[in-house]
């Protein structure tokens, strides 16, 4: 199953922890910073929603790239 299929399945199941991990992975794998920040934003939103431990790292990444605060 590719990343997109995994994301769709996680959305279908409401698995927020999986969504954090998958969007975070997408942010790391994508080739440009704008797309990376988009995926990181999605991961961050789900991380905040489920109090995921990756929230701080995602927030730091978004700050570093001028996408937050």
Please state, in angstroms and as integers, the Cα–Cα distance from residue 51 to each residue in 1, 17, 47, 54, 60, following that order. Answer: 27, 9, 6, 9, 16
Q: What is the pLDDT of residues 17-35, one digit of tens each?
A: 999 999 999 999 998 999 9
**Domain boundaries of the chain, sorted by first residue:** 3-64
pLDDT of residue 1: 86
pLDDT tens, 38-60?
999 999 999 999 999 999 999 99
């Amino acid at each position: 199953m590719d990343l997109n299929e995994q994301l769709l399945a996680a959305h279908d199941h409401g698995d927020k922890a999986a969504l954090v991990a998958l969007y975070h992975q997408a942010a790391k794998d994508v080739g440009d910073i704008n797309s990376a920040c988009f995926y990181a934003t999605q991961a961050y939103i789900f991380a905040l929603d489920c109090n995921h431990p990756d929230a701080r790292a995602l927030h730091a990444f978004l700050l570093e790239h001028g996408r937050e605060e």
